[in-house]
Chains A and B, each alone.
Chain A
Amino acid sequence: MGFLNSYIYYIGAFGLILIGLYIILVKRNLIKVIVGLGILDTGVNLFLISVGYITKGTAPIFSRTGIDSEDMVDPVPQALVLTAIVIGVAVLALALSLAIRLYQHYGTLNLRKIREQKW
């Protein structure tokens, strides 16, 4: 139980990161690869938030008076993750528009078949 207590969020985050990387490296379909990018992003965000967590902490909002500021979790990773989420959705949207164009040109999304140029 102690192991789970201290590592469960890290396990989730790095599980997502590794699965995302696996999809990107192995899958052939471009949309699938983009799904993998999304999962990778989610994993990174979860990792950043877990870094800032304090056991039995509270959200860093002084919504009423008398909240003990000692227990507040770190606000900085939350700000970073807000930025990272928006950047992630921007990259995904651009990637999807490229995928649509690619499909119009080649009639397929299989990255192994689209090899006009050498790597």
Chain B
Amino acid sequence: MILVVSFLVFLMLVGAVAASIFRDLISAVIAAALVSLIASILFYFLQAPDVAMAEASIGAALTAAIFIIAIRRTKRYEE
């Protein structure tokens, strides 16, 4: 169990670093959504199913969607 959690935390931090490195903003947003998704799994492990649902639906799905809509209306690549 603890190994699974450690692996997920590692993956989450890698996702966050990737979100900071990617110059393609769409990729950065996907990486941030991955962070949210793993966080929601961690919430489930921490016995917070309500929060896990909210994070998965609001934090991962809707936030990524509005980010992508906004990027479509501005510019895709970081200068």
Contact = CB atoms under 8 A, between A and B. Distances in A.
A92 B9 contact: no
Q: Chain B interface mostly helix, strand, loop or mixed?
A: helix
A82 B63 CA distance: 15
B29 A59 contact: no
A49 B19 contact: no
Contacts of A53: 46-47
Q: Chain A interface mostly helix, strand, loop or mixed?
A: helix
A29 B67 CA distance: 14
Contact of A19 (B16, B63, B79): B16
Contacts of B71: 31
Q: How large is the interface on B (under 10, 10 to 19, 20 to 34, 35 or more residues)?
A: 35 or more
Contacts of B43: 46, 49
Contact of A96 (B9, B48, B49, B66): B66
A49 B29 contact: no
Interface in B11-52: 12-13, 16-17, 19-20, 25, 28-29, 32, 35-36, 39, 42-43, 46-51
A16 B55 contact: no
Interface in A13-65: 15-16, 19-20, 22-23, 27-29, 31-32, 34-36, 38-39, 42, 45-46, 49-50, 52-53, 57-61
A81 B63 contact: no
A45 B67 contact: no
Contact of B51 (A39, A85, A109): A85
A11 interface: yes
Contact of B35 (A16, A61, A109): A16
